[in-house]
Structure 1
Amino acid sequence: MEVFGGTYGIIMTILIGLVVGIIAKFLKPGKDPGGFIVTTLIGIAGSFLATFVGKSMGWYQPGQTAGFIGSVVGAIVLLILWGLLTRKR
Protein backbone atom coordinates (compact mmCIF):
# COMPACT_ATOMS: atom_id res chain seq x y z
CA MET A 1 0.00 0.00 0.00
CA GLU A 2 1.41 3.36 -1.03
CA VAL A 3 1.29 5.83 1.86
CA PHE A 4 1.62 9.14 -0.01
CA GLY A 5 -0.25 8.25 -3.17
CA GLY A 6 -3.89 8.34 -4.10
CA THR A 7 -6.36 10.54 -2.30
CA TYR A 8 -4.12 11.06 0.72
CA GLY A 9 -1.32 12.43 -1.49
CA ILE A 10 -3.68 14.83 -3.23
CA ILE A 11 -5.10 16.10 0.06
CA MET A 12 -1.62 16.59 1.52
CA THR A 13 -0.50 18.43 -1.63
CA ILE A 14 -3.45 20.80 -1.33
CA LEU A 15 -2.90 21.41 2.40
CA ILE A 16 0.83 22.01 1.99
CA GLY A 17 0.12 24.27 -1.00
CA LEU A 18 -2.29 26.30 1.12
CA VAL A 19 0.26 26.71 3.93
CA VAL A 20 3.05 27.59 1.48
CA GLY A 21 0.81 30.11 -0.31
CA ILE A 22 -0.20 31.78 2.95
CA ILE A 23 3.41 32.05 4.13
CA ALA A 24 4.50 33.45 0.75
CA LYS A 25 1.74 36.09 0.89
CA PHE A 26 2.85 37.14 4.38
CA LEU A 27 6.53 37.33 3.40
CA LYS A 28 6.04 39.27 0.15
CA PRO A 29 5.25 42.93 0.78
CA GLY A 30 2.37 44.60 -1.01
CA LYS A 31 -1.12 43.61 -1.96
CA ASP A 32 -1.58 40.19 -3.55
CA PRO A 33 -4.52 38.85 -5.53
CA GLY A 34 -6.89 36.08 -4.71
CA GLY A 35 -8.49 34.27 -1.89
CA PHE A 36 -8.33 30.74 -0.56
CA ILE A 37 -8.22 28.91 -3.90
CA VAL A 38 -5.70 31.26 -5.54
CA THR A 39 -3.47 31.10 -2.45
CA THR A 40 -3.52 27.29 -2.57
CA LEU A 41 -2.80 27.19 -6.30
CA ILE A 42 0.09 29.64 -5.93
CA GLY A 43 1.57 27.49 -3.16
CA ILE A 44 1.28 24.29 -5.21
CA ALA A 45 2.65 25.97 -8.34
CA GLY A 46 5.50 27.46 -6.28
CA SER A 47 6.47 23.98 -5.14
CA PHE A 48 6.46 22.72 -8.74
CA LEU A 49 8.51 25.73 -9.85
CA ALA A 50 11.08 25.22 -7.10
CA THR A 51 11.33 21.50 -7.93
CA PHE A 52 11.76 22.21 -11.65
CA VAL A 53 14.42 24.88 -11.10
CA GLY A 54 16.20 22.74 -8.49
CA LYS A 55 16.38 19.74 -10.80
CA SER A 56 17.53 21.93 -13.71
CA MET A 57 20.32 23.38 -11.56
CA GLY A 58 21.33 19.95 -10.27
CA TRP A 59 20.27 20.64 -6.67
CA TYR A 60 17.77 17.74 -6.57
CA GLN A 61 18.17 14.19 -7.74
CA PRO A 62 15.50 12.41 -9.81
CA GLY A 63 12.54 11.66 -7.57
CA GLN A 64 13.35 14.43 -5.09
CA THR A 65 11.12 17.45 -4.70
CA ALA A 66 11.69 20.90 -3.32
CA GLY A 67 11.54 21.26 0.41
CA PHE A 68 9.27 23.56 2.33
CA ILE A 69 11.56 26.60 2.13
CA GLY A 70 12.15 26.06 -1.60
CA SER A 71 8.39 25.86 -2.12
CA VAL A 72 7.86 29.15 -0.28
CA VAL A 73 10.57 30.82 -2.38
CA GLY A 74 8.95 29.46 -5.55
CA ALA A 75 5.56 30.81 -4.46
CA ILE A 76 7.06 34.25 -3.71
CA VAL A 77 8.61 34.31 -7.19
CA LEU A 78 5.21 33.49 -8.70
CA LEU A 79 3.54 36.24 -6.64
CA ILE A 80 6.10 38.77 -7.88
CA LEU A 81 5.62 37.67 -11.50
CA TRP A 82 1.83 37.77 -11.11
CA GLY A 83 2.06 41.27 -9.66
CA LEU A 84 4.18 42.43 -12.60
CA LEU A 85 1.77 40.93 -15.13
CA THR A 86 -1.38 42.34 -13.54
CA ARG A 87 -0.03 45.74 -12.51
CA LYS A 88 -2.27 48.64 -13.45
CA ARG A 89 -0.72 51.04 -15.90
Structure 2
Amino acid sequence: MEALLPIIIQVVTGVIGGQAVGAAMSQAAMGQLPKILSGAIGGVGGGAILGSLLGGGAGVDPAMASGMGDMLSNVVGGAGGGAILTAIVGMVMKSMNKG
Protein backbone atom coordinates (compact mmCIF):
# COMPACT_ATOMS: atom_id res chain seq x y z
CA MET A 1 0.00 0.00 0.00
CA GLU A 2 2.91 2.33 0.68
CA ALA A 3 4.02 2.03 -2.93
CA LEU A 4 0.57 2.95 -4.23
CA LEU A 5 0.01 5.99 -2.01
CA PRO A 6 2.14 8.42 -4.06
CA ILE A 7 0.46 7.29 -7.28
CA ILE A 8 -3.01 7.65 -5.75
CA ILE A 9 -2.12 11.15 -4.53
CA GLN A 10 -0.81 12.07 -7.99
CA VAL A 11 -3.94 10.75 -9.74
CA VAL A 12 -6.35 12.52 -7.37
CA THR A 13 -4.52 15.85 -7.45
CA GLY A 14 -4.08 15.51 -11.22
CA VAL A 15 -7.83 15.11 -11.67
CA ILE A 16 -8.40 18.14 -9.43
CA GLY A 17 -5.91 20.20 -11.44
CA GLY A 18 -7.46 19.01 -14.68
CA GLN A 19 -10.95 19.91 -13.50
CA ALA A 20 -9.77 23.38 -12.49
CA VAL A 21 -8.20 24.06 -15.87
CA GLY A 22 -11.18 22.51 -17.66
CA ALA A 23 -13.51 24.87 -15.84
CA ALA A 24 -11.29 27.85 -16.66
CA MET A 25 -11.14 26.83 -20.33
CA SER A 26 -14.88 26.32 -20.74
CA GLN A 27 -14.70 27.42 -24.37
CA ALA A 28 -12.68 24.29 -25.20
CA ALA A 29 -15.88 22.17 -25.09
CA MET A 30 -14.25 19.31 -23.21
CA GLY A 31 -16.39 16.60 -21.69
CA GLN A 32 -15.77 15.15 -18.24
CA LEU A 33 -14.01 12.02 -19.49
CA PRO A 34 -11.20 13.85 -21.33
CA LYS A 35 -10.69 16.15 -18.34
CA ILE A 36 -10.54 13.24 -15.89
CA LEU A 37 -8.26 11.09 -18.05
CA SER A 38 -5.86 13.86 -19.02
CA GLY A 39 -5.78 15.10 -15.42
CA ALA A 40 -5.02 11.64 -14.03
CA ILE A 41 -2.36 10.84 -16.63
CA GLY A 42 -0.80 14.28 -16.33
CA GLY A 43 -0.88 14.01 -12.54
CA VAL A 44 1.12 10.80 -12.50
CA GLY A 45 3.54 12.14 -15.09
CA GLY A 46 3.94 15.51 -13.40
CA GLY A 47 4.40 13.94 -9.98
CA ALA A 48 7.02 11.55 -11.31
CA ILE A 49 8.89 14.30 -13.15
CA LEU A 50 8.87 16.68 -10.20
CA GLY A 51 9.88 13.88 -7.84
CA SER A 52 12.81 12.91 -10.04
CA LEU A 53 13.89 16.54 -10.40
CA LEU A 54 13.87 16.92 -6.64
CA GLY A 55 15.79 13.67 -6.26
CA GLY A 56 12.97 11.63 -4.82
CA GLY A 57 11.77 9.60 -7.77
CA ALA A 58 8.15 9.90 -6.65
CA GLY A 59 6.27 6.65 -6.65
CA VAL A 60 9.29 4.46 -7.30
CA ASP A 61 10.63 3.68 -3.84
CA PRO A 62 8.14 3.30 -0.95
CA ALA A 63 10.81 4.36 1.55
CA MET A 64 11.12 7.69 -0.25
CA ALA A 65 7.37 8.37 -0.04
CA SER A 66 7.34 8.62 3.73
CA GLY A 67 8.54 12.21 4.08
CA MET A 68 6.34 15.29 4.06
CA GLY A 69 8.44 16.86 1.31
CA ASP A 70 7.85 13.89 -0.96
CA MET A 71 4.11 14.07 -0.33
CA LEU A 72 4.15 17.78 -1.14
CA SER A 73 6.03 17.10 -4.38
CA ASN A 74 3.42 14.46 -5.26
CA VAL A 75 0.59 16.94 -4.64
CA VAL A 76 2.21 19.85 -6.46
CA GLY A 77 3.52 17.72 -9.31
CA GLY A 78 0.20 15.91 -9.65
CA ALA A 79 -1.90 19.06 -9.72
CA GLY A 80 0.51 20.86 -12.02
CA GLY A 81 0.91 17.94 -14.40
CA GLY A 82 -2.83 17.35 -14.53
CA ALA A 83 -3.50 21.01 -15.22
CA ILE A 84 -0.84 21.27 -17.92
CA LEU A 85 -1.87 18.11 -19.78
CA THR A 86 -5.56 19.03 -19.57
CA ALA A 87 -4.79 22.49 -20.98
CA ILE A 88 -2.87 20.91 -23.86
CA VAL A 89 -5.65 18.41 -24.58
CA GLY A 90 -8.21 21.23 -24.40
CA MET A 91 -6.29 23.33 -26.90
CA VAL A 92 -5.91 20.37 -29.25
CA MET A 93 -9.61 19.54 -29.02
CA LYS A 94 -10.54 23.19 -29.59
CA SER A 95 -8.36 23.41 -32.69
CA MET A 96 -9.80 20.13 -34.03
CA ASN A 97 -13.36 21.48 -33.60
CA LYS A 98 -12.50 24.61 -35.62
CA GLY A 99 -11.21 22.68 -38.61
Q: Give unpaired runs (5+ residues) of structure 1.
A: none
Q: State the TM-score, normalizing by the size of structure 2.
A: 0.52
- Among 20, 37, 41, the residue aligned to 1:41: 37
CA RMSD of aligned residues (A): 3.3
The residue that corresponds to 1:82 in the other structure is: 89
Q: Percent identity?
A: 15
Q: Give unpaired runs (5+ residues) of structure 2.
A: 62-69
2:63 matches 1:67: no
Aligned pairs (5 A) from 1:1-80: 2=1, 5=4, 12=8, 16=12, 17-28=14-25, 30-35=27-32, 37-56=33-52, 58-62=53-57, 63=61, 66-80=73-87
Q: State the TM-score, normalizing by the size of structure 1.
A: 0.56
**Structure with more relative contact order (C-alpha pairs < 8 Å, separation 6 or more):** 2
Greater helix proportion: 2
Give SS of 2:28's match: coil
> How far apart are the structure 2 equivalents of 1:28 and 1:70?
20
